[in-house]
Amino acid sequence: MIKKNIKSTPSVSLDNVSITYGNSVAVKNVFCNIEKNQVTSFIGPSGCGKSTVIRAINRMNDLIEGCKLSGSVIFEGIDIYAEDIDPVEVRRKIGMVFQQPNPFPKSIYENIAFGARVNGYKGNMDQLVEESLTKAAVWDECKDKLNESGYSLSGGQQQRLCIARTIAIEPDVILMDEPCSALDPLSTLKIEETIHELKKNFTIIIVTHNMQQANRVSDYTAFFNTEKKDKDLSGKIGFLVEFDKTKKMFTSPNQKSTQDYISGKFG
């Protein structure tokens, strides 16, 4: 059930991670090693805790009151939930792209420059802006209006701007929480192409509801499912069912529930 991958040193590894909101357990006992410079996708039905887990990787859950994590999240050999860890530094190494495109209410240029500046970037800012936007495949669309508001772009362009903003701070890992759920198929396709380009330099973890997308973009896939709690029948606990190479997951998964989910029998 729990597959450990020990071929190379993982970028991020989740070691018996359980996350609770207040008194209710959201997800329990996740073991998972995420490989460097690979795309790993998290799939599973709603409420299975995949977004909760991805937010745990750069300590975004700190913002949610009453959210607690047990177990450890190891990034490059360091437990990021240790007492002396500064979450701000963690987020500089592990960037995040959110479900809704959320550019800052600033110009396109400033959207990129802001993150770079708070991270103490000293190089050529114009160059960084161009490079980041090019890597995120949105440079051609906004090179003529760098001084216009980020909100003047379309939804798909905004999302790629947000990806560019994340790339600009040169993190090691990029987390994407359903980055295409608010976008049309064409924008989705562009973002997927962007992801293919990005994995040369970054480790990418993507949460998606779309199994075809997971199949298209990812090298590894983790399938999460829910189970009913013992006492409380209404609550659900998420857990990791299976984690393997995407190819294997989509052709011959070990678990029956993975097979059922992937072939569309539930979810």
Partner 1 sequence: MNYTSQKSLTYNPSLARNIGNRTLTIISALFAFISVLPLILVISYVLIKGGSYINIETLILEPEPPGDDLLSAGGIGPAITGTFIMAVIASIISIPVGVGGGIYLTEYSKSGKFAKFIRFGSNVLAGVPSIISGVFIYAIIVSTKILFGSMFSGIAGGISLSILMLPTIIKTTDEALKLVPDDMRRAALGVGASKFTMITNITLPAAFSSICTGVLLALARAAGETAPLIFTALFSRYYITSFDDLFYEMGSLSVLIYNFALEPYEAQNQLAWAASFILVVVLLSLNILSRWIGSHGAFSKNKL
Measured between alpha carbons, how far is 255 from 253 in angstroms, rounded to an integer? 6
Span from 16-24, 29-37, 45-53, 87-95 in contact with partner 1 (CB under 8 A): 87-95
Measured between alpha carbons, how far is 159 from 163 in angstroms, rounded to an integer? 6
Among the listed residues 149, 210, 255, 259, the single contact to partner 1 using CB under 8 A = 149
Measured between alpha carbons, how far is 203 from 195 in angstroms, rounded to an integer? 10
Interaction of residue 156 with partner 1, rule CB under 8 A: no
Q: Pick the closer one to partner 1 by CB: 35 or 110.
A: 110
Q: Pick the closer one to partner 1 by CB: 164 or 249.
A: 164
Residues near 92 by beta carbon (within 8 Å), at least 6 away in sequence: 119, 169, 171
Among the listed residues 5, 20, 71, 114, the single contact to partner 1 using CB under 8 A = 114
Question: Measuring CA to CA, which residue among 227, 225, 205, 226 is closest to residue 217?
Answer: 205
- The site string for partner 1 over 129-148 (x = CB under 8 A, - otherwise) reads ------------------xx
Cα 102 from chain centroid?
Answer: 15
| Strand ranges for the chain from DSSP E | 12-21, 24-34, 39-43, 67-75, 78-79, 94-97, 173-177, 203-207, 220-228, 236-245
Interaction of residue 21 with partner 1, rule CB under 8 A: no
Interaction of residue 89 with partner 1, rule CB under 8 A: yes
**Minimum Å distance from CB 30 to partner 1?**
22
What CA–CA distances, in Å, run from 189 to 167, 246, 260?
A: 19, 19, 26
**Minimum Å distance from CB 121 to partner 1?**
11
Amino acid at 114: F
Span from 92-100, 124-132, 230-238, 243-251 in contact with partner 1 (CB under 8 A): 92-100
- Helices marked H in 199-255 — which ranges? 211-217, 246-251
Measured between alpha carbons, how far is 71 from 52 in angstroms, rounded to an integer? 14
Among the listed residues 8, 70, 100, 252, the single contact to partner 1 using CB under 8 A = 100
**Minimum Å distance from CB 180 to partner 1?**
16
Among the listed residues 28, 92, 135, 190, the single contact to partner 1 using CB under 8 A = 92
- The site string for partner 1 over 243-262 (x = CB under 8 A, - otherwise) reads --------------------
Amino acid at 199: K
Q: List residues binding partner 1 (CB under 8 A).
A: 58, 60, 63, 65, 88-89, 91-92, 95-98, 100, 102-107, 110, 114-115, 118-119, 147-149, 151-152, 162, 165-166, 168-169
